Structure 1
Amino acid sequence: MNFFEEIEFKNWNELKTFFGDKNSSWCFRGQSNYNWKLTTSMDRVEIPFQDLKNYKKEFESYMIRDFKRHTEFHYDNPYLTSTDFQIISLLQHHGAPTRLLDFTQSPYIASFFAIDNCYKECAIYAINYMELLSSTRLLFKNQLDDNSDEINGYKFSGNMSANNVFDKLVLGERQFQFVELVQPFSYFERLVKQQGVFLCQGDLKIDFESNLYSNYLIALENGFSPMYKIKIPSKWRMEILKDLNRMNINNGTLFPGLDGHFKSLKNTFDFSVSDRKEHLTKDYFK
């Protein structure tokens, strides 16, 4: 299933022009391997038996309960853990398997995540999240509306991130096939630094892209913008990383704390080696 419009550019500057033409309604995700699909960490948990197809949803509920039991003394801000949606956001932040997929509102931050560990070809996904929102609303209005409490709650609020809507429509007993942008009420530091947003899959029995396909069909019917998959060759890596570093986009700024700072030293070393190599290969007497 490939419903993305795959595009390539001649150089980094041409790609930056493409980014500049996109308004603030777009979100982006960088992946260091072009062949990887869009998959959530919950997608990557393999369930070998068909009769356990609801196990992921059951385990999600278990993780929320477990989080509430074990993190009481770790967060001073009560708003960070005030709802199940906030807790799922923190589970994602700490590396637990969730139905959320990290995106960013910055194409340049997405470029960093794509190219930093790219050694062949990497990808940036670009999705117009306002049109994604419209496709979800149309999906529930035209195809899934059964006048139930959970769907009526979403129709009236129009906000999947609202606590009562998320709890009933996403975490409730029924599962619906869709993808929607969601944002927690209280942000944590890394999410702010990375200009992060989440795309949330509705049905855990199928993977993220199969959920997204439901939105794609609605988008196709209504003439919405394509969902792009951009190919970037690894030979641009050093040029892009140097340019992003001038924009103050690096591991040190995206991952607050010592881990991010020390990880950024590797790129600093790579820049130094690259600059010395360039200096040594120039013939200043021509």
Structure 2
Amino acid sequence: MPSANVIDEVVLSSWSEFAAASDQLDGWVFRGQADQSWPLVSSLTRHLARYCPDPSLWPLREDRAIRVFRRKAHVFLQDASVLEDDLRCLALMQHHGAPTRLVDFTKSPFVAAFFALQQLRADSAAVFALNTPALWKVAPRFDAALNREAIDLRKPGSYQKYFAGNSLPLVWFGEPNQMDARLVAQSGILVVPGKLEAPLDLLLGEYESDEPLIRKFILPASVRGEALRALYRMNITAATLFPDLDGLARSIDYELETVWEQLIVDYRSRPTKT
């Protein structure tokens, strides 16, 4: 039976409350979502749920997508060896827009808040905090041998053995042996579910733990302006989190929204020269 201590939900009313609360979670990792009602699932789950309603077909669809990517991606790569490493290949797919079972988290609560609030979709956003210090020490109750080290996706064959079949209620987290520029810029951590149909909090309910494994911070839309100004001062923008031309272009959203407007106000308030 799933643990009752999997998730804590905390409703916040200010940006300062979030900063203070997240500061207490040393070693945890974070994920921002622009609508607090969205389940904690991968982009692949969302895509397949929309276009392939039969979950029994999902492992076949996923396997084919990875094979197609591997057959063709080498054309664009200087070093195609990245495609031979399952985790690095999936990370490459993910960060170039392909749906995968990876769920992006970050070591920075502020980076997560940026992703939650920049493109706010509802009255409230959410930042999920994953208790990785606790997850180092626990294993699923159906097989205590399947701890994080045993199913390490950086080991050859682990993906096929524990994840590709889409049948085991497992959760693994970590970084590839070699990280791409976006993962570095975002202080990224990859969280990988063993079953696509289940949200991460449900899968973690299969783990034996005496403390909550996920905390969900709900951020109201009213904090967005203050939060984005604070994050801009921290140099947390799309331009820094996506260190390429695409990221620079994305960052123009905020320049149009707030910064240029403030410059106009400042300019018009200057004394007139005589």
Fold-level match, TM-score > 0.5?
Answer: yes
Secondary structure, counterpart of 2:76 in structure 1: coil
1:42/1:56 contact within 8 Å kept: no
**Aligned residue in 2 for 1:72:** 74
> 1:199 maps to what in 2?
191
Paired residue for 2:272? none
What amino acid is the match of 1:165?
A: S
Counterpart residue number, 1:11: 14
Kindly, what percent of the aligned residue pairs are identical?
Answer: 27
Provide the rounded CA distance (Å) in 2 between the counterparts of 1:164 and 1:19.
36
Q: CA deviation at 1:48?
A: 8.0
1:63 to 59, 62, 65: 65
Aligned partner of residue 157 in structure 2, secondary structure: helix
Contact 1:88 1:98 in 2 (8 A): yes
How far apart, CA to CA, are the structure 2 residues paired with 1:111 and 1:92? 20
Distance apart, 1:43 and its partner CA: 1.5
C-alpha RMSD of the superposition? 2.9
Give the Å deviation of 1:175.
2.1
- Structure 1 residue 20: Cα displacement: 1.8
Instruction: State how far apart, in whole Å, the 1-side matches of 2:36 and 2:262 are.
Output: 25
The question of 1:265 aligning with 2:258 is answered no
* Aligned partner of residue 126 in structure 2, secondary structure: strand
Tell me if the contact between 1:183 and 1:198 (Cα under 8 Å) persists in the aligned partners: yes
Distance 1:10 1:61, change over 3 A: closer
Work out the CA distance in 2 between the residues paired with 1:120 and 1:4.
Answer: 21
More helix by share: 1
Q: Judging changes above 3 Å, is the alpha-carbon distance between structure 1 residues 263 and 53 closer, same or farther for their aligned structure 2 residues?
A: closer
Q: Structure 1: how far apart are the matches of 2:92 and 2:77?
A: 11
| Unaligned segments of structure 1, at least 5 residues | 282-286
Which whole-Å deviations, capped at 9, do the CAs of 1:162-204 have from their partners, x for residues lacking one?
A: 2332332222x47211222132112111111111111111023
Bigger shift: 6-15 or 201-210?
201-210
Partner of 2:118: 116
For the residues of structure 2 that align with 1:38 and 1:78, how far apart are their CA atoms? Answer: 32
1:131, 1:186 → 2: CA distance? 25
Residues 201 and 212, structure 1, Cα contact 8 Å, conserved in 2: no
State the distance in 2 between where 1:236 and 1:278 align.
Answer: 23
1:253 to 2:252 alignment: no
1:92/1:100 contact within 8 Å kept: yes
- Tell me the secondary structure at the aligned position of residue 134 of structure 1: coil
Counterpart for residue 284 of structure 1: none
- Number of matched pairs: 263
Say whether the 8 Å CA contact 1:43–1:208 is kept in structure 2: no
Aligned partner of 2:142 in structure 1 is: 143
Contact 2:148 2:172 in 1 (8 A): no
2:221 to 234, 251, 254: 234
TM-aligned CA distance change 1:40 to 1:157, over 3 Å: closer
- Aligned partner of residue 185 in structure 1, secondary structure: coil
Where structure 2 has 5 or more consecutive residues not aligned to the other structure, the ranges are 270-274
Q: Which residue is equivalent to 2:158?
A: 165
Contact 1:43 1:207 in 2 (8 A): no
**Distance of 1:107 and 1:40 partners within structure 2:** 19
Per the alignment, do residues 131 and 34 of structure 1 end up closer, same or farther by CA in structure 2, a change over 3 Å counting?
Answer: same
Once the 2 structures are TM-superposed, how far is the Cα of residue 278 of structure 1 from its aligned partner? 9.2
Normalising by structure 1, what TM-score?
0.81
Deviation at 1:274, TM superposition (A): 4.9
Please say if residues 175 and 202 of structure 1, whose CA atoms lie closer than 8 Å, have aligned partners that are also in contact: yes
Aligned to 2:131: 128
Deviations 1:104-132 (A, max 9, x none): 11100001001112252111000111322
